[in-house]
Chain A
Amino acid sequence: MDPQNEVLLSLTVLLTGLVVVFAMLVFLTIIIKAYGGAIHSMMKKKASNKTQAEEKPAPAAAPAPKPAIAVEEGISGEVVAAIAAAVYMTYGSAAPAIRSVKRAASNPRSIWGEAGRLENTRPF
């Protein structure tokens, strides 16, 4: 390749490459920002509507005191707190109230084996 062609090719690849890569990624930036913003504001609107709806009903009579959780003897408060946190993490605020905490009947199968079986059979 003669030097003139080398310079020509090098500059073509450099310019085309940088312009195309930047243009493509700038375009993606704009698109993602736009749809991200749209979804974000849509969700905000939904959340504010929900809050308004929740605020509307007149306050009911004072709720009855919540029943205490029935905890089996020997289970410490920390364990109950950890279980409550795990339930909240799994189900979120939709989680039903915990009424009792007791030890499960001992399972002769390994818990990991059980988890593997569930994972493989869930779709069927």
Chain B
Amino acid sequence: MLLHGNMKKKGLTFSVQIINEFLNSVVDIFQTSGFASNDWRNYIMIAIACVLFYLAIKKEFEPLLLLPIAFGMLMVNLYPAIMAAPTDTANGGLFYYLYQGVKLGIYPPLIFLGIGAMTDFGPLIANPKSFLLGAAAQVGIFITFIGAIFIGNLNIPNLAFTAQQAGSIAIIGGADGPTAIYVTSKLAPELLGPIAVAAYSYMALVPIIQPPIMKALTTKKERMIVMEQLRPVSKLEKLLFPIIVTIIISLLLPDAAPLVGMLMLGNLMRESGVVGRIANTAQNELMNIITIFLGVTVGATATGTVFLSPQTIGIIILGLLAFCFGTAGGVLFGKLMCFITHGKVNPLIGSAGVSAVPMAARVSQKVGQEENPSNFLLMHAMGPNVAGVIGSAVAAGVLISILG
């Protein structure tokens, strides 16, 4: 009887022990879960990621980049350890390693390699004056820099930028995602998330941002100007272009060499016609792989604590201003060229100088056709458009050289 009682007591104690262990395990799991470690900011970021998913999938706003960026944002706010640096006891998170390509400035030049392999510089070679429009549209970068420096004087708490951060925000006006990421990774890596999201969001919104500015700054008569057909460009000219541009820019502004050099390497592969397979890989497989890594890891820098700050609101406002000033600069310079050439240049092609290839050129074409349905400005706008890529890379080199 006593033995039976002891056994019953032992069994009871054992059961209590099991229940305790079970509860401890559940508590442990809960404590290591996202519910216990995440704060409200992470949940807001998850909601923002979902909005970006909506914009990417439903509205198709730059889906190739917004989708991986949004997913990176989602992942890091659910499981912050995915970006953790390696320690003595842990290997570090997956995104930490992929992020090194951004941090060390490897991905943006590789993306430029693919862009170069995809780009036909023929319209620019046929009309080299387009370079001037590509330069004029970079004015937004430098005006925004001033805005970012002086915004600190508004005395809004936590809304002030260092010179390096101001340079990184200003480059959003270049309307070139890889360039923006490259400059930010060199000057202000802590702002990579908000700057990349702002840059790509505004690039997707080019068809909405640009037309009102283009219409406000031009007359109906100017918008109706039909431009002369571009001359055909020989293969030799196309072949020499990337070599000459690389030599000149690398010698004069070495800080722009990685971006411009890779852009021109891609283009030389395309135009040479002898390395078709490599050119195909650069513009397809390689570009797609880098886009996934770049998008996901840039999104993963947007943690709640970094993203939800007055600085992000400042970046979003300044980024928009940069786009607007860049567009206005291009259109106004287009007007000047129109005046000098006695109406041979349609000022609408100036807005394409902000880069955002080929979206900005398409906008010039669309706005021009609204006034004159028989007008085809697309190829004329492609000149300033690709000049804008080179121009924003040069502007990036200038910013890195002065502020780096």
Contacts and interface: CB of A to CB of B under 8 A. Distances in A.
Interface of A: 1, 3, 6, 9-10, 12-14, 16-18, 20-22, 24-33, 35-36, 39-40, 43, 123
A21 B135 contact: yes
Nearest to A31: B244
B234 A20 contact: no
B135 A25 contact: yes
Q: Is the interface of A mostly helix, strand, loop or mixed?
A: helix
Task: From B134, B153, B394, name the one whose CB has the most chain A CB atoms within 10 angstroms.
Answer: B394
A36 B402 contact: no
Contact of B237 (A24, A28, A35): A35
B399 A17 contact: yes
A32 B167 contact: no
29 contacts: A1-B149, A6-B150, A6-B153, A9-B149, A9-B163, A13-B399, A13-B402, A14-B143, A14-B145, A17-B145, A17-B399, A20-B394, A20-B398, A21-B395, A22-B135, A24-B394, A25-B132, A25-B390, A25-B391, A28-B245, A29-B132, A32-B124, A32-B128, A32-B244, A36-B126, A36-B128, A39-B236, A39-B237, A43-B234
A13 B399 CA distance: 8
Interface stretch (B13-21, B78-86, B247-255, B365-373): B247-255
Contact of A26 (B131, B149, B153, B162): B131
B240 interface: yes
Given A13-B145, A26-B132, A33-B128, A1 B240 contact: no
A118 to B, nearest CB: 12
Given A31-B248, A35-B244, A21 B163 contact: no
A35 B395 contact: no
A26 B333 CA distance: 14
B141 interface: yes
A9 B164 CA distance: 11
A14 B142 contact: yes
Contacts of A29: 128-129, 131-132
B58 interface: no
A14 B146 contact: yes
Per CB-CB distance, the 7 closest pairs between chain A and chain B, nearest first, are A25-B131, A25-B135, A10-B146, A32-B128, A17-B142, A29-B128, A29-B131
Interface in B133-166: 134-135, 138-139, 141-143, 145-146, 149-150, 152-153, 162-163
Contacts of A33: 128
A20 B253 contact: yes
B142 A32 contact: no
B220 interface: no
A6 B131 CA distance: 31
Contacts of B124: 32
B125 A32 contact: yes
Contacts of B129: 29
A32 B241 contact: yes
B387 interface: yes
A36 B391 contact: no
Contacts of B244: 28, 31-32, 35
B221 interface: no
Given A20-B253, A25-B131, A35-B237, A10 B145 contact: yes
B234 A40 contact: yes
Task: From B129, B237, B249, name the one whose CB has the most chain A CB atoms within 10 angstroms.
Answer: B237
A30 B131 CA distance: 10
Interface in B200-219: none
A5 to B, nearest CB: 9
B4 interface: no
